[in-house]
């Protein structure tokens, strides 16, 4: 029997009540980031036993996050925007986009800190076992050695060419031994 487990990279936040927190009660809920801006007091306090309507519970914040490419505690609206970006790039590309943002070399939309998805799609060159593997594939794709006689191709300095090519790319670990490769735009 084979057990199939589905994994997801869906960014989530733990939204909590500031008033309850100040009173020494940890009241909140884990939710998908995209839903953070629409949270209600009733949803945050569900099952807590706190009567939020009489306790002055009016301010809610992200107290923790899982799967966002930024550190700290974003506002609920910021978390929701990250959730929208996740939905735009999809579950499979999300880890690569997060690596691009964490690299600090990403392109932001206008005057925000949110990445430009179209620029991400243009910059992303894939996930490779090594940069050298990417460089060799690129060389084949662009016909780098086309026209060079076979007997001379053995003299091509792959190490120098790959090293120089890396200056035009951002390389980030994928967390599994591979490398996310991004073209510098």
The string of pLDDT tens digits covering residues 122-157 is 999 999 999 999 999 999 999 999 999 999 999 999
DSSP letter (8 states) at residue 170: E
Closest to 61 measured CA to CA, from 26, 85, 88: 26
Mean residue pLDDT of the chain comes to 92
- Position 3 scores a pLDDT of 58
* Chain Cα centroid distance, residue 44: 26
- Position 7 scores a pLDDT of 62
Instruction: Using the Cα atoms of residue 115, residue 120, residue 123 and residue 127 in order, give the sign of their dihedral.
Output: positive
Report pTM: 0.86
Tokens for 27?
């009241």
Tokens for 97?
């986009």
Kindly give the parts of the chain with pLDDT less than 50: none
């Amino acid at each position: 029997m084979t057990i199939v487990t589905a994994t997801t990279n869906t960014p989530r936040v733990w939204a909590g009540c500031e008033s309850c927190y100040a009173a020494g009660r940890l009241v909140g809920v884990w939710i998908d980031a995209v839903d953070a801006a629409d949270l209600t007091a009733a949803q945050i306090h569900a099952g807590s036993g706190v009567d939020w309507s009489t306790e002055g519970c009016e301010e809610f914040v992200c107290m923790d996050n899982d799967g966002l490419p930024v550190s700290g505690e974003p506002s609920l609206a910021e978390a929701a925007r990250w959730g929208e970006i996740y939905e735009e790039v999809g579950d499979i590309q999300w880890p690569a986009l997060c690596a691009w943002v964490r690299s600090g070399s990403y392109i932001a939309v206008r005057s925000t800190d949110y990445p430009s998805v179209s620029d991400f799609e243009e910059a992303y060159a894939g996930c490779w076992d090594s940069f050298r593997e990417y460089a060799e594939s690129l060389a084949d794709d662009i016909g780098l050695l086309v026209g060079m006689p076979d007997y001379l191709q053995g003299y091509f300095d792959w190490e120098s060419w790959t090293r120089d090519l890396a200056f035009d790319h951002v390389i980030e670990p994928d967390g599994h031994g591979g490398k996310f490769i991004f073209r510098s735009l």
